[in-house]
Every structure is written in C-alpha cells, then in structure tokens.
Amino acid sequence: MQFLLLLPLIFAACAPLRPLGPVSETQPVPTPVATEPVQEPVPEPQARDLDPGQIINVGVGFEKDSAAIECPEQKWQFKARENLGRIEVETKGECKYGEKTYRGGWAVLSTDSGLAIINAVPIEDYLKGLVPHEIGKLKPEEIEALKAQAVAARTYAYRHIGSRKSQGFDIYADVRDQVYNGKEGEDSLANIAIMATAGLVLKYEGNTIEAYYHSTCGGKTESAEIWGQEGKPYLQPVSDSAEGRVFCELSRYMKWEEKYSRAELVEMFQKNAADARADKIFPFSKIQQISITERFPGGRVKKLAVSTDKGSFEVFGDRTRRLFTREGKFLPGLFFDISQSGDTFTITGSGYGHGIGMCQMGTRARAREGQTFEEILKVYYTGVSIEK
C-alpha cells in the first residue's frame, strides 16, 4: 500500500522540504501512509495475561467465485457457494495465495456472498509481514523506530482479536486495520526489532490500549475525538516538536497545498457529501463560502461549514477529508487552512493521516537522534506502560 501511494501526482507541486535538523539526508525520506481504521472502536478489554503464542486470524482476501491456496503438500481449490461454512486447511509449510507466500495456517469461510481467505498466523510472525509495510525499510540508525512500530502494531493486534468476528476473522490485511503482506517484503532489520521487543505491548491502567498511529502529524497529534469517539486518556494531543523544530519535518507531507475551482467543488461536494456525512444533503449549483467554524484542541478542523445558493451544510472531524475526495484520494490531513481568491479555493495543510497516537515520521527522527523506543512511545501515548 505504501509504495502505491508514495508518489501521488497531486502532491507534485509541494514546496521542497528544507531539512533543518541534524540529519542531512540527500535521499528523499519515504513517508509511510497512515493506517485508517474506518469501523467503530473495539470495546475496552478486560485486564488479562496475553498469550505469547497467540494466533491472529488475518483476512487476507475475498473471492467471489473461486480461490486456490498452494501448500507444499497439496494445492487446495475452493469454489464459492459450495460447502458453506468454515474449512480449515492444515499445512506444515509456507503456502501461496495469489502472488504472495505466507507463514502459518489457513481457513476459508464460504458464505452466500463468496470466500473469505483467512491466514491464521502467530502474532510475532504476523508482525514480520507488517512492520516494513507500515513504516518502511529503515536503516540501522532507525532501529528504535522499528521497535516502536513493532510494539504499537503488536498492541493494535492483541486489542483487535475478535473485533471483526462478523467477518470470520480478527483483522483486515490492509489500511482498514494494518497492512500485512505475508512473507513478501520481510526485512531482516525489522525482524530483529520485532524479536528484540517480543511480547511487549502498551498498557494503560492494566488494559491493552487502542494503539492508533499515522504517517505525519505536522507538529501536533490529536485525540480520537476527530472520529466522534470519546477521548481516551492515553490518546491526547501532544506536541511533536522541540527547540522550535518539528520532528516529522522531513516528511514529504509536512507542507501541502490543494487548489480547487469553484465549479469543481460544486461537483465534488455533491458527489462526496454522503460519504462525508454532511448534516444536510441537497442539490445546489453555487458555492458562496467555505469556512472552518471550530477546531479540535490540537488544532485540526472540527467543523467545516459550506454556504451555497440553496442553503448551508456542515461536516464534522475526520469526515471532512472525504468531502474533498478527488480522483479517489482523501485530503491528506485535517491540519489545514482554507482561503479564497476569485474562483479559486486553496487549502494549505500540514501532516498526513488521522493524526492520532504515534507519528511515524516523528518516530524515525527521534530514533535517529538517539531516543529509545520506550521514550518515543511514551511521548505519543500519554501515561502508558510497556509490558510483556
């Protein structure tokens, strides 16, 4: 996912970044994309001991007609709408599904709508197929960032076991939860970071936390209120800067700009209003004004009001990014200002992703400056402990 989204053309006009910190990178720093949970949060778990051999069921694919899983012992073929129910596939080796090879076992859930393909894998192996895709393949001087990412992703995984029960598995293998590609793209340094932190998760008052993370905060993180959720004590807005310098400043999304014509916005808003959960949906032909009427404590847009020739409507929080969906892409973030000149509206923003919890680009900079993964995680998740 990361590599598909790395070079969206719409950002080609971004001003070049001026590295101000001690890192003099001549190579552009690849910016990870954000993980965007789109469903409701999972209920607060009861304090309990975590099973170190815990298997997680990952929904790696869905097939409408047929599926094949190629294991060393046997090639398994499945046809949709036959043998309804859950079929377990036993294997001792690594199997291929689609173009990718995976560790662990398998299950196929056959329902009236098709086949859900489920990879049942120990959590520590799951992390090997995840960490390099979520934060990138990093250099040895950023190993503490890989460790921080491993702990955050492991915490997210334990917390979400059972959270997609209605789908027949625990977690999606894409940005709906965490990007997981089986053995494809595994990285030896990431594996070292995973083993060095084996079993460690983030807890608050004895409970595994909801460890959201994102690409680039742009200077300050935000609370989960941007999704209309109740605030959590460990997900608070925190500053990601020190001595006047923002840690994630090397991100290509530190500063961005989007321009729209008035006519284009009419068409976009009509198309996107439902997905953005606008408070009123009605046809209109002119936009008079777009204004930010309220901001969250961290500074992100809380309410955006649009006045048109046929009345006004409002959108709330993170859904605002969807109001501006263009060519299938949301607005990068919610940290923005909007200005108008003649028939052109300009949005200038900072950061990429929802802005909640750990900032991945800030994490990398902190690692390069010598912070440990424990120090880094405790910056982004307020008041947490790191426990086995």
Q: Is 217 in the site for Zn ion (CB under 5 A)?
A: yes
CA 73 – CA 57 distance, rounded (Å): 22
Residue identified by tokens 């198309």 is 271
Q: Which C-beta is closer to Zn ion: that of 116 or that of 250? A: 250
Q: Is 127 in the site for Zn ion (CB under 5 A)?
A: no
Per-residue binding string, Zn ion, 165-204, x by CB under 5 A, is: ----------------------------------------
Q: In whole angstroms, how close is the CB of 300 to Zn ion at the nearest point? A: 13
| Residue in 320, 362, 366, 376 binding Zn ion, rule: CB under 5 A | 362
Q: In whole angstroms, how close is the CB of 355 to Zn ion at the nearest point? A: 9
Query: What burial letters (b/e) apply to 315-339, b meaning 16+ CB within 10 Å?
Result: bbbbbbbbbbeeeeebbbbbbbebe
Which of the ranges 129-137, 202-210, 258-266, 362-370 carries the binding residues for Zn ion, by CB under 5 A? 362-370
Q: In whole angstroms, how close is the CB of 249 to Zn ion at the nearest point? A: 8
What residues between 321 and 360 interact with Zn ion by CB under 5 A?
Answer: 359
Which of the ranges 92-100, 121-129, 200-208, 232-240 carries the binding residues for Zn ion, by CB under 5 A? 232-240
What residues between 297 and 316 interact with Zn ion by CB under 5 A?
Answer: none
Residue identified by tokens 């424990």 is 374
Q: Is 117 in the site for Zn ion (CB under 5 A)?
A: no
Q: Which C-beta is closer to Zn ion: that of 104 or that of 333? A: 333
Q: In whole angstroms, how close is the CB of 245 to Zn ion at the nearest point? A: 11
Residue ranges that bind Zn ion, judged by CB under 5 A: 217, 240, 248, 359, 362
